[in-house]
């Protein structure tokens, strides 16, 4: 079997890698998926990734190591679900998730890494964003599935599971429905199996299957 191109290096639980896999899945563009451990990074991955982080996509001379750029790369080739048909406001929401929300999430989830920070304060910052987002969601952020939903959902999932009972008790009915629909979707099932760890010489693992 010939090597499948392009190659997507991924780590199953990383929300950045999750959203890259979601876009590749939606596009139908086939890649060779290489699942790695972040604590034991293969040299081939380090030789490919300028930042040493996942996800990173390599196709011939092209290397993309930003998850959102990988989403655009896949969907610009094929976008059968119309995810790119998104209002401009969607880009601002994604930027907030990637900036202030992710910063607050990290300082809540990994509080021991930030001993001078107050995790309760940062949880409140993230909660304020979700309170506003809840008022906008009607099934999806813009009433239909778009890039914004699937760029944001992996991070809302990560925040939810820091303290799921607390999260479930929050007055966010639309967010709860939205996240539950995602977690029980076929798409989530397809991007979250326990992929075998890649090592040099392995037969290519094609994704989507």
pLDDT band at 209 (very low <50, low <70, confident <90, very high): confident
Nearest to 183 by CA among 202, 167, 200, 166: 167
Does 198 lie in the same domain as 129? no
- Do 100 and 63 have their domain in common? no
Shared domain for 175 and 198, answered yes or no, is no
Residues 75 and 106 in one domain: no
User: Over 70: is that where the pLDDT of 2 sits?
Assistant: no
Mean pLDDT score, 50-77:
95
113 domain-assigned = yes
128 falls in which pLDDT band (50, 70, 90)? very high
Q: Per-residue confidence at 111, pLDDT binned at 50, 70, 90?
A: very high
As a whole number, the mean pLDDT across the chain is: 96
Identify the CATH number of the domain in which residue 135 sits.
1.20.1050.10
Tell whether 97 and 135 lie within a shared domain.
yes
Domain-located, residue 177:
yes
> What's the number of CA atoms in the CB half-sphere (13 Å) around residue 10?
30
Q: What is the pTM of this model?
A: 0.95
Q: Are residues 102 and 65 in the same domain?
A: no
Q: Is residue 77 very low, low, confident or very high in pLDDT (cuts 50, 70, 90)?
A: very high
pLDDT of residue 4: 53
* Overall number of domains in the chain: 2
Q: What domain range includes position 61?
A: 7-80+189-207
Q: What is the mean pLDDT of residues 1-26?
A: 89
How far is it, in rounded angstroms, from Cα 1 to Cα 13? 29
Within a domain: residue 62? yes
Q: Does the residue 50 lie in any domain?
A: yes
Percent of the chain at pLDDT above 90? 94
Average pLDDT over residues 58-63: 92
* pLDDT category of residue 46 using cuts at 50, 70 and 90: very high
Q: Are residues 160 and 196 in the same domain?
A: no
Domain assignment present for residue 2? The answer is no
CB 52 within 8 A of CB 1: no
DSSP 8-class letter at 162? T
Residue 70 has pLDDT above 90, yes or no: yes
Whether pLDDT at 163 is above 60: yes
* In the predicted structure, residue 1 carries a pLDDT above the cut 90: no
What is the mean predicted confidence (pLDDT) over 98-107? 98
Query: Can you give the CATH number for the domain in which 21 is found?
Result: 3.40.30.10
**183-205 exposure pattern, b = at least 16 Cβ within 10 A, e = fewer:** eeeebbeebeeebeebeeeeebb
């Amino acid at each position: 079997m010939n090597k499948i191109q392009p190659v997507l290096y991924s780590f199953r639980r990383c929300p950045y890698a999750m959203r890259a896999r979601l876009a590749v899945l939606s596009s139908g563009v086939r890649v060779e998926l290489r699942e790695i451990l972040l604590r034991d990074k293969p040299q081939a991955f380090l030789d490919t990734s300028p930042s040493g982080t996942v996800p990173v996509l390599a196709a011939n001379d092209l290397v993309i190591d930003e998850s959102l750029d990988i989403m655009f790369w896949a969907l610009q080739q094929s976008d059968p679900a119309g995810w790119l048909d998104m209002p401009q406001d969607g880009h601002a929401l994604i930027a907030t998730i990637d900036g202030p929300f992710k910063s607050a999430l990290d300082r809540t989830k990994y509080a021991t890494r930030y001993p001078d920070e107050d995790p309760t304060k940062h949880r409140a910052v993230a909660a304020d964003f979700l309170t506003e987002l809840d008022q906008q969601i009607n099934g999806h952020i813009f009433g239909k599935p778009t890039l914004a939903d699937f760029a944001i959902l992996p991070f809302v999932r990560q925040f939810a599971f820091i303290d799921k009972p607390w999260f479930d008790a929050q007055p966010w009915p639309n967010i709860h429905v939205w996240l539950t629909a995602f977690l029980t979707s076929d798409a989530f099932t397809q991007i979250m199996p326990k992929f075998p760890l890649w090592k040099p010489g392995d037969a290519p693992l094609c994704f989507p299957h």
